[in-house]
Amino acid sequence: MKPFPVYPLFDLTPVSAEGSYLYDAAGNAFLDLYGGHAVISIGHSHPHFVRRVREQLEHIAFYSNSVQMPLQEQLAERLGTLSGYPDYSWFMVSTGAEANENALKLASFASGRKQVLCFTGGWHGRTSAAVSVTDDAPIVAPINAQHAITRAPLNDLEALRAAFAQSGSQFAAAIVEGIQGVAGVIEPTPAFLQELRRLCTEHGVALILDEVQSGAGRTGRYFAHQWAGIRPDLITLAKGIGNGFPVAGLMIAPHFEARHGLLGTTFGGAHLAAAAALAVAEVMAQDDLMAHAARLGEQWMAALRALPGVVEVRGRGLMIGVQLEGPVAPLRNRMLAAHRVLIGSAGQKHTFRLLPALNLSANDAERFTDLLKTELSRAASVPAASVVA
Ligand X SMILES: Cc1ncc(COP(=O)(O)O)c(C=O)c1O
Please tell me whether residue 187 binds ligand X under the rule CB under 6 A: no
Residues 12-71 that bind ligand X (CB under 6 A): 37
Please tell me whether residue 121 binds ligand X under the rule CB under 6 A: no
Of 177 and 364, nearer to ligand X (C-beta) is 177
Of 147 and 161, nearer to ligand X (C-beta) is 147
Q: Which residues contact 114 (CB under 8 A, 6 or more apart)?
A: 108, 147, 148, 170, 172
Say how far apart CA 276 and CA 299 lie, in whole Å.
Answer: 30
Please tell me whether residue 212 binds ligand X under the rule CB under 6 A: yes
Binder to ligand X among 20, 132, 213, 359 (CB under 6 A)?
213
Pairing verdict, β 234-237 and 248-252: antiparallel
Q: Largest Cα–Cα distance in the chain?
A: 65
* Extended strands (E) in the chain: 14-18, 21-24, 29-32, 89-93, 115-119, 149-152, 171-177, 206-210, 234-237, 248-252, 310-316, 319-324, 341-342, 351-354
Q: Interacting stretch for ligand X, rule CB under 6 A, among 67-75, 109-117, 205-213, 322-330?
A: 205-213
Please tell me whether residue 181 binds ligand X under the rule CB under 6 A: yes
Of 37 and 295, nearer to ligand X (C-beta) is 37
Please tell me whether residue 320 binds ligand X under the rule CB under 6 A: no
Instruction: In angstroms, give the least distance from the CB of 379 to ligand X.
Output: 28
Instruction: In angstroms, give the least distance from the CB of 215 to ligand X.
Output: 9
Of 230, 138, 223, the residue nearest 179 (C-alpha): 223
Which residue, judged by CB position, is nearest to ligand X in the bound state?
A: 96
Q: Which residues contact 88 (CB under 8 A, 6 or more apart)?
A: 80, 235, 251, 252, 253, 254
Q: Is 7 exposed, middle or buried (0-12, 13-18, 19+ CB in 10 A)?
A: exposed
Q: Interacting stretch for ligand X, rule CB under 6 A, among 25-33, 82-90, 118-126, 225-233?
A: 118-126
Instruction: In angstroms, give the least distance from the CB of 212 to ligand X.
Output: 3
Q: Which helix (H) or strand (E) holds 286?
A: helix 271-286
Q: Interacting stretch for ligand X, rule CB under 6 A, among 123-131, 189-197, 367-375, 378-386?
A: 123-131
Instruction: In angstroms, give the least distance from the CB of 295 to ligand X.
Output: 24
Of 9 and 385, nearer to ligand X (C-beta) is 9
Binder to ligand X among 125, 188, 268, 344 (CB under 6 A)?
125
Q: Find the Cα–Cα–Cα–Cα dihedral 161, 167, 172, 177, rounded to 10°.
A: -40
Instruction: In angstroms, give the least distance from the CB of 35 to ligand X.
Output: 12
Instruction: In angstroms, give the least distance from the CB of 62 to ligand X.
Output: 19
Instruction: In angstroms, give the least distance from the CB of 100 to ligand X.
Output: 6
Of 30 and 123, nearer to ligand X (C-beta) is 123
Per-position DSSP letters for 176-219, written without gaps between them: EESSBTTTTSBPPPHHHHHHHHHHHHHHT-EEEEE-TTTTTTTT
Please tell me whether residue 79 binds ligand X under the rule CB under 6 A: no
Of 358, 283, 289, 287, the residue nearest 318 (C-alpha): 358
Instruction: In angstroms, give the least distance from the CB of 96 to ligand X.
Output: 2
Instruction: In angstroms, give the least distance from the CB of 239 to ligand X.
Output: 6
Say how far apart CA 294 and CA 124 lie, in whole Å.
Answer: 25
Say how far apart CA 233 and CA 210 lie, in whole Å.
Answer: 11
Residue 15 phi/psi, 5-degree rounding, is: -115, -15
Residues 233-252 that bind ligand X (CB under 6 A): 238
Axis crossing angle, helix 362-381 with helix 289-305, rounded to the nearest 10? 20
Of 213 and 323, nearer to ligand X (C-beta) is 213
Please tell me whether residue 210 binds ligand X under the rule CB under 6 A: yes
Please tell me whether residue 95 binds ligand X under the rule CB under 6 A: yes
Please tell me whether residue 177 binds ligand X under the rule CB under 6 A: yes
For binding to ligand X (CB under 6 A), which residues are involved?
Answer: 37, 95-97, 100, 123-125, 177, 181-182, 210, 212-213, 238
